[in-house]
Amino acid sequence: MHILALDTATKTVSAALLEDERILAEGYADLDRHHATSVLPFVQSILDLAGVDVGKIDLLAGTGGPGSFTGLRIGAGTLKGLALATGKPIVPVSTLETLAVNAAGCGIPVCPLLDARKGQVYGGLYRFAGNGVPCSVIPDATINLSDLLEKIHESVLFLGEGAVVYGETIREGLGEKACFAPPPLNGIRASAVGWLALHHYREGRSADPLTFIPAYLRKSEAETSG
């Protein structure tokens, strides 16, 4: 099964092509460019590198939130367009679950964090099953960082852009219980999106291309100011 996976949930963009659990090609960029102009050329370059035509894709996968409203909408729109053109199913996966995969095997719970601004984070807490798939302990939510830290009573590995932005606050709140992933593990990789999507698809999970919308976990600026 060929899986085309995308991530546009934050300021970075990533695309990957997998054959079942094997990564055929993957790209990742953090260039401060708008996803609307970069995602489709990025996808095409991955397909060209692997020598696979888009018509041979069996499954489409993408980060389904939380994250940037603009980034998530671009990713969802791209996936919908590809799904309608190819007739293939979409499997969205949690952005935070995907980020947690970077720390599989670390031996302690993992707290992936994205900066939600306004003093809040998108965060959750995960443990790992024997197959390496993250299992939610604290559900993904938009939450004040202080409230999230109050729920943590053991050593935890923090990772993601939110862990970088709020690292000092986390250290002050948890002391030696706070561990941090090295910088290369703070980015979201499309290969992890594809691997999780394959796992979920085998469990019977997918989204209708016509009705799929990301899980924003917060109202947009337009909605809150209207």
What's the pLDDT at 53?
A: 95
- On the CB side of 152, how many CA atoms lie within 13 Å of its CA? 29
3-state secondary structure of 19: strand
What's the pLDDT at 225?
A: 44
Is 23's pLDDT higher than 50? yes
Is 221's pLDDT higher than 80? no
Which residues, 6 or more positions from 212, have their beta carbon under 8 angstroms from its beta carbon? 64, 76, 79, 80, 90, 92
pLDDT (tens digit per residue) in 142-200? 999 999 999 999 999 999 999 999 999 999 999 999 999 999 999 999 999 999 999 99
Which residues, 6 or more positions from 61, have their beta carbon under 8 angstroms from its beta carbon? 3, 4, 5, 6, 90, 91, 92, 93, 193, 194, 196, 197, 198
What's the pLDDT at 205?
A: 94
What's the pLDDT at 219?
A: 63
Q: State how far the Cα of 87 lies from the Cα of 72, in Å rounded to an integer.
A: 21
pLDDT band at 217 (very low <50, low <70, confident <90, very high): confident
Q: What value does the mean pLDDT take over residues 75-80? A: 95
Instruction: For helices 69-86 and 35-50, give the axis angle rounded to 10 degrees.
Output: 40
pLDDT (tens digit per residue) in 24-77? 999 999 987 778 788 999 899 999 999 999 999 999 999 999 999 999 999 999
What's the pLDDT at 33?
A: 75
Q: What pTM was estimated for this model as a whole?
A: 0.94
- Amino acid identity, position 212: F
pLDDT (tens digit per residue) in 102-156? 999 999 999 999 999 888 999 999 999 888 899 999 999 999 999 999 999 999 9
Please give the mean pLDDT across all residues of the chain: 93
Lookup: tokens for 178: 């706070």
Is 226's pLDDT higher than 50? no
